[in-house]
Structures are given as C-alpha cells and as structure tokens.
Structure 1
C-alpha cells in the first residue's frame, strides 16, 4: 500500500462523513504497524492531508481531522462534494499556471551545475561536521551585500540567519521574540499557507484588511494598536500585488517604534518590478530597527532549494543565536556553498535582471490571452510587478467553483476569496504566469475552460 492510497482512504472517509471534524486519527507509528508499511509512507499521506486542510497536527495531542473543516451537507443522493478551498492548493508538479514557481526553462542550469561540482570537490574535512547554526558565513556575507545594494538595507552579515524558508522564518521569529498571548496581526487577504501556520502557532491572531494602498494602517491603529507583531508583504502584497503606500509605511514604522512592537516584512518577490521606479524594502526606512526582514530563494531560483533567510535586529542577535541552537540544526552546507558562490560571482544579479524582462513579457501574454478568451468575464488591476495576476470576477461570487473547474483541466489557479478570513471579500482567480512561453500556449490553456466557465457564470 502506498501513501496515495492511504491519503485517498482518509479523504473519502472525511467527505463521506465517516470521520468528522475534530476526530482523532491514529499515530503515524501505530498506523504504519497496523498497515505493515514504512513510517515514511504514512508520514507522506498525513503531510498531504495536513497541507490540504483535512488534518491538523496538534503535537503531543496527536493528529485530528481539522475541527474548522466545513463539509457540504449530504442528501439521500450520492453526490461529489466540492472540496474545501484548501484542497485546491496542489503540491504536485503537474499542471500549469501555478503560483510562485519561477521560470524553470530560463534557469541557468549549466552555470549552476558547474558551480555545484566545484563546491562539492572543495568540501573540506572540517566542513563535514555539523554546519553553522546561523548559516554558512560566506553565504551570510553574500546575502547582506545583495540586500544592501538591491533592496536598500543597511545590514551586516552577523544579522543574517539562514533558514529553510518562509515558514521556518515565522516559527523562529515567534519562538524567539513572542510571549504567550502576544497579539499577532496578519493581512486580509493574506498568504494562504501563512494563515494556516499562524493559526497553529499564534493563538491571539487577528486580521487587518488590505485595500489598493496595502494594509489599512488606520484600521490597525483603531482596533489593534496593542499588537506585538504585524506580518506584512509591503512590496507586492500577497495575493493582490498592491504596494504599501509610503504614508502607510511611515505610519506602520511609527506604530512599531512607539509601541515597542515588531514588523515582520516578507519580501517574497520584491526583485520583480517592471517599471523604472524600484520599490525599496520597508526595512530600508527602518531607523529604529523594528523591522525583521525575511526572504527566500524559492521564488527567485527554485522552490526545491528550500533556502530562506531573515535579517535580525541587532539587539536580538544573541537571543536568535541561543534559541537557534535548540530549534535549528543548521541548513545543509553544500547547497549554501553553491548559492554563496552563485551570488558572489554575480550570477544571481544577472539572473534576476533577465527574469524581470521575461516576466514582464509573459504577464503581457497572459493578459492578452485572458482578454481574448474571456472578454467580459474578468477585470484586472495591473500593479508594479510580481509573479501572478488577479483576475477579478466582473460579476458573481463563484470563484471557488470556477477554480475547481480550471483545476480539473490541470490549471492550478486559486480562488481569491479563499485568501480572506473576514466577511468583506473580493472574488476572482489568482493566476501564475511565469512559465507561459508564448501567447499561443496561454490561449490553448485557457480555451480548455471557456465553455464550462461561461456555463457557470452565465
């Protein structure tokens, strides 16, 4: 029995009502013994079920069916229920228009392989022990240099902490700096997996609405001025891609300084701007060191790399170092060595510059194809940059059903309404375009859905 069969069995039992929200499921070790399969097989199935929102892991309390899972009501007839929005988040490599996947066809594979070989051959005996907890020093130096030049920061290599990515950044920051009961603010709408993680690690979680100028800081000051943390995507908001206005940036920084609070800046795709006006990072305006800047190479290089980083405020370095020894075991050294050389030799700069031009072209292709195939279905609000577009429904609110239709045709788009947590929502599809190679390809992909899209919305 493979992990796919275990996953399918649980999913079927949940959708059929045989397992109900809140029900506990067997421990991985117990189920592996019962089914006589390897633990990793069960772990893989559970990870998918957790990722899709069917299960939640509660640590020592075990794993349960998600208590917040809303299932469709069943009738006497057998029906295929619509999946929860979280089930539309797919982790398979198959499918088109996926979010956050860089243009893999334009990645400099030959240069990467050449550097990889050199890094492997140069591995010394002393580097074969435990890697540095806070990261490989040459990589920390290369990242600090890049951020200071390209994103307007003023940080030292000692402030860089290498992690395994976005979620590791959030876990580490809150573990080091948060106290039980601290109020944490998140954007609404906000990054889907960020919401899911914070629900588990930040019990006092609240949401601040986002409009065309980014996070509504007036709302924050009116209702949540006592918050300890605000997590923001100020350069290109996820998913609306709007930019936090300069007056609001200053408001937010003043709030953090006055209240001794922390701003966690997620600059996940700040490199991809398509106008001559470069948007500096919020951290570049931070004179009181209240912003914790975070980034990742998943969007700029490849998701499989799993290398991220954060910039620690100077006063917190000792605390991050102390707890990092406990929480982090240090990223694998070889990928860090390869990445450090890739950055220090200037290849990363050239790659990003190439991607900006390419993504601007591919976004235009996607928009032209959307307007040709759906001339009266969607509205668009173009922003400075990013890696996806939001196609707002011109009428109706059926974006979840629409996303399900598109996903059946292997188009991995997501419904915009699923990113909201409060009642005021906007509706549409969040669509990746970075791997579209031609206008004809974009039209061919969209044509798969035209008839069903119109049948649903008319």
Structure 2
C-alpha cells in the first residue's frame, strides 16, 4: 500500500486506536508532505477521504482536526480494555511467581545480607522517642542528603538534599508529579514501547495521553516536534529505554532539552536502571545536561537493592520544591522511617557504591551466559541487538509475530519472559521475548532452562 492510501490507513488506525483524539489538530498538508517526502496532492487526497468518512473536519485557515463528534464503537474499547487487563494480570503473575529469567529483579543471591542485617540492628537499637512521630513527607533528611550526594557523583547531577523527595516506587513518583503539576487537559506523552505498568497508570490518570515511538536512537524527538510539540509532559527512560534498552542519542537529548525550554514543558526522566552499564561510552543522566531546569529526575532502589523496600525518589527542579512539599502534605502519608534510616546508612557508609560495582561485573557476565545459551539452543529463531547495559535482553523473532503465543508456552515451563509486542501502545510493533538475566547463576542453568520449551518452540516457529 503506497501513496495516499498508506496515509489514509495510518490516520484512520490512529483515530480508531485513540492515539489521535477528538478535536486534536493534525499536521498541515504541506508540513506532512514535506515530512513524508510526498507530493502535497497525495496528502490532500488522503485528508479528503478522511474528511468524507467523518474522521477529520476541515476548519479552513485554522487547519484540520479530528472530528470532535466522532463516536467510536464501545465494543472496540471494551475489547481493548479486556486485552489490556489480561496483559496486566499476566505481568503481575510473572512478577509475583518464582522462575527463570524474571524481569527487573536484582541478583538476590549476591545481596550483602550480613552487612544489611548489621546496619538494621544498629538503627533498631538507636530508636528514640522522636522516631515514633510521623516521618517528614519529603523523606528522612539524612537519606535525602545521601541520595543527593550519590546522584551528583554517579549520574552527573548538581542538586541539593532540598530537591529530593522520597516516594514508595515509580508509579507513586509518577502519580505525585502529575498531581502536583498537571491539569486534566494537559497533554502527556509517553514512549512507545514503554513500561507496561506505567502505561496502565497513565491511562487512568492522564486524560490527554499520547505516544512517541522509540527506535535505535531512542525516543524519536523529530516525531515529537512534528506531531506532539504542544505536550506539557514527556515521560521517558533515556538511559535504557524500556524495554528495548537502547540509549537516547546525544543529538536527540539536546533536541529534547531545547524543546522543553522553548515550550516550558516538563521532561520526566525515569532512570530505573541507569547504574548498570557495561561499556565506557556511558552518557550521563539527561538531568545532568539540563541547564534550563526542565527535567524531573526519578530514581529507584527496587532495581539496585530490593523491590520489597519500596523506596524511590524524585529530584525536583528548584522552582517546584514548595509545590511538591504542599502536595505531599495534602495527599501523602510518608514512608516508614526505619527502612529509610537503614538505606541512608547503607549509602553514606559506602556499601551501596561497592555493591553496584560488584553488580555491574556480575550482570555483564550473566548477560553473556544467557546470550551464549540462547544462541546455542535457538541458533536460527532469535537475534539480539546488544545494548550498553540494563538488566534484560530482547530476543527478537527472526520471522513471524507469534511472541505472545511463544511467551505463553515458555511461561508454562516457569520461564518468566514477556512478549515484546505487549509493551507497544500503537499499531506498529516489533516482536520478541523480553528476558531477564540478573538471577541466572551459570550458563548451564540458562541452557537447561531454555531447553524446557524446545520442542514446542520449534513447532510454533518452525
């Protein structure tokens, strides 16, 4: 399908999928024609068909918009919601059950338990009456200081403890940011593909949600500038885009920061596993390049220490400190004090840096174990685009698009992988399996696990 038909189908699909919403303006004919490298007549023909079928409405000199009166079939929405709910339950099951290749779980077998228990004992014995009061809503002051020192050294930031807000996880951080800053009509842009739980949360709390594709250079900032320039928030994972694990290129970082400054928009940088990099060509955090103070930096200890601790943090632009403090006082109850005290001591005494250094070396070795095993067991079914770091690989299917069926087969053998296509919100998708490697202890273990669904995998993929 070429020419006007391809443009017509693309816009029709985006409108039916809800990516383009009622009343939203579409690019001018000359702008879209130049962007796609086609004649203006080609775009004009596609628009005329969409207008004739009621998907678009021409407003003359004011441009063309998605028909505000367009009513989509409720059955379609119900079907999409049902599929999304099934995927959500599937991901919850993978998170909560034991098995091989679990996603986003640090190497629990190599955690320094003895040191952690020793520090825990010290803080329990040091408990005083004032520790029994309600903890500060912005977080335990020594922990905020320790986090500020850590991100300044390791991620290139330049912040103070007053800019750090402690939260109970990424979803909590995201919700707090939007509660403090967003109105119901603000356009929120999320990367596609993107973290599945993040997508589900945003669908609930962001009425004006849109997506920007991710390619081999990271978030497609040209697409953002062409189609979503008026966004108020961009939420992204530039260190290792989830789940593709590619890094946002330096030119695109500069483009994105320039856009945020010009539009007075906010970039929410989720640096969920930026600590785990295996080459010397590591780009610092996007926030470190943010001279206009438009980046809200979000980090977590779920990927570096343990998910059970439920401690994350936000590094705020200075202009937002008072607003976040006020919002936190109204809507938050703050985290328990003891875990914050233990973590503060773990960081400030140097144990956290030592642990991270050990994990980088360990994860690089374990990634290679899984890669070797995958290539040995399935030499013709998958290919891997190796990235600079992260905690998982994506095994792309060489042929076909049956990643959901394949993932179901593997999960039946306690291989807790997830289909890549399920992380996409739009119609354009890639297909493969997202495979964690952090808790694989040997190449033999990985090989034996991968052989479990061998016959069924070959029967499906051929």
After superposition, give the CA deviation of every residue in 1:354-401 in whole Å (9 maximum; x if it has no partner).
000000000000000000000000011000000000000000000000
- Tell me if the contact between 1:406 and 1:412 (Cα under 8 Å) persists in the aligned partners: yes
Matches within 5 A, 1:225-374: 225-374=229-378
- Tell me if the contact between 2:88 and 2:197 (Cα under 8 Å) persists in the aligned partners: no
Partner of 1:221: 225
Alignment pair present for 1:202 and 2:243? no
CA-CA distance at 1:443 after TM superposition: 0.4
SS across alignment from 1:231: strand
Where does structure 1 lack aligned partners over 5 or more consecutive residues? 1-65, 73-81
Alignment pair present for 1:435 and 2:439? yes
Matches of 2:90 and 2:418, distance apart in 1:
7
Partner of 1:211: 215
Matches of 2:82 and 2:88, distance apart in 1:
12
Aligned-residue Cα RMSD (Å) equals 1.4
Matches of 1:266 and 1:330, distance apart in 2:
21
- Tell me if the contact between 1:274 and 1:356 (Cα under 8 Å) persists in the aligned partners: yes
CA 87–456 in structure 1, closer or farther in 2 if over 3 Å, else same: farther
- Among candidates 426, 447, 451, match of residue 447 of structure 1: 451
Alignment pair present for 1:150 and 2:154? yes
- Tell me if the contact between 1:69 and 1:84 (Cα under 8 Å) persists in the aligned partners: no
CA-CA distance at 1:96 after TM superposition: 1.4
Matches of 1:172 and 1:218, distance apart in 2:
29
Partner of 1:99: 103
- Among candidates 76, 84, 105, match of residue 86 of structure 2: 84
Partner of 1:32: none
Matches of 1:419 and 1:427, distance apart in 2:
10
Matches within 5 A, 1:419-434: 419-434=423-438
After superposition, give the CA deviation of every residue in 1:36-86 in whole Å (9 maximum; x if it has no partner).
xxxxxxxxxxxxxxxxxxxxxxxxxxxxxx9455669xxxxxxxxx99333
Partner of 2:122: 118
After superposition, give the CA deviation of every residue in 1:377-429 in whole Å (9 maximum; x if it has no partner).
00110000000000000000000000000000011100000000111100000
Matches of 2:451 and 2:175, distance apart in 1:
42
CA 70–338 in structure 1, closer or farther in 2 if over 3 Å, else same: closer
CA-CA distance at 1:94 after TM superposition: 1.3
Partner of 1:376: 380
After superposition, give the CA deviation of every residue in 1:172-226 in whole Å (9 maximum; x if it has no partner).
0000010121000000000000000000000100000000000000000000000
Partner of 1:45: none
Where does structure 2 lack aligned partners over 5 or more consecutive residues? 1-76
Matches of 1:86 and 1:425, distance apart in 2:
18
- Among candidates 390, 412, 417, match of residue 386 of structure 1: 390
- Among candidates 144, 160, 176, match of residue 180 of structure 2: 176
Which one has a bigger Cα radius of gyration? Answer: 2
CA-CA distance at 1:241 after TM superposition: 0.3
- Tell me if the contact between 1:184 and 1:202 (Cα under 8 Å) persists in the aligned partners: yes
- Tell me if the contact between 2:102 and 2:435 (Cα under 8 Å) persists in the aligned partners: yes
- Tell me if the contact between 1:264 and 1:292 (Cα under 8 Å) persists in the aligned partners: yes
Partner of 1:133: 137
Structure 1 length-normalised TM: 0.82
- Tell me if the contact between 2:297 and 2:314 (Cα under 8 Å) persists in the aligned partners: yes
